[in-house]
Structure 1
Amino acid sequence: MTPLSLGPLGQIARSVRDIDAAMAWYRDVLGLPLLYSFEGMAFFDLGGTRLYLQQDPAAGAESILYFKVDDIDTVHAALTQRGVAFTQGPRCIHRHSDGTEEWLAFFEDLEGRPLALIAQKRS
């Protein structure tokens, strides 16, 4: 059998109930660059991976999107100033043997679905 090699993740899809409100929130509150939008759809750049939002009136809970950041405390403060309510502020969840720490902070989008910040801190 020929070996199969998949590339990096190219796109993540998320359903939203109101595309206009979601597009404004992801663009204006989270600061994600809008690539383009069409009827009921919006595409954002997540550092080379596209976030695809599609309007679906029955949208419900979905998997967590983890946004990688360099300075979790600064981004947490900036998003809080923009009105984002965090369900759990920045906290260390693991320390590697080399002293590097894994940090997470959780919040929700306009429709109550989970999002998170993820960062590594080196001692």
Structure 2
Amino acid sequence: METRAAETFGAIGQIARSVADIAAAERWYRDVLGLPHLYTFGPLAFFDCGGTRLMLSADDEGGPPQAGVLYFRVADITQSYEEMQARGITFLGAPHMIHRHADGTEEWMAFFSDNEGRPLAIMSQVRAG
């Protein structure tokens, strides 16, 4: 069986974790744990963990924490999306921009599930200019 993930995927780009109180979690991860705070976008707070981004999201349902999402970096999200579809992976939607940073860099993602229905995503940054 040929494995092509090493050819397609870079390092894990982001890990998601749900929290009960986003403001309290942002303060704790930044001020107590000491993680560099990257930015906050609505109910999401992002931190740098040695090049892997940690995304904290407010769990507004009050239930148990959601399953974490693994986000794999890819150089070209459109090409990776097409190659992965050709291998039989079903995406929940096409790659789309989810955020534009102040410098114009765009964050693009596309979501899919593993064989047990757990969430995964590919992600790519598109630089301005």
Q: Which residue of 2 aligns with 1:85?
A: 90
Other structure's SS at 2:85 match: helix
Q: Is the 8 A contact 2:11 2:72 kept in 1?
A: no
Q: Which residue of 2 aligns with 1:66?
A: 71
Using a 3 Å threshold, how does the CA distance of structure 1 residues 104 and 47 change in structure 2: closer, same or farther? closer
Q: How far apart are 1:76 and its partner, in Å?
A: 0.4
Q: Which residue of 1 aligns with 2:122?
A: 117
Other structure's SS at 2:79 match: helix
Q: How far apart are 1:81 and its partner, in Å?
A: 0.4
Q: Which residue of 2 aligns with 1:31?
A: 5
Identical positions, percent: 44
Structure 1 gaps of 5+ residues are 1-23, 34-45, 49-60
Using the size of structure 1 for normalisation, the TM-score is 0.52
Name the aligned partner's letter for residue 68 of structure 1: R
Q: How far apart are 1:32 and its partner, in Å?
A: 4.3
**Which structure has the highest strand share of the two?**
1
2:104 pairs with 1:99: yes
Other structure's SS at 1:63 match: coil
Runs of 4+ in 1 over 4 A off after TM superposition: none
Q: How far apart are 1:70 and its partner, in Å?
A: 1.1
Structure 2 gaps of 5+ residues are 13-65
For residues 123 and 5 of structure 2, the distance between their equivalents in structure 1, rounded to whole angstroms, comes to 16
Q: How far apart are 1:62 and its partner, in Å?
A: 2.9
For residues 122 and 108 of structure 1, the distance between their equivalents in structure 2, rounded to whole angstroms, comes to 27
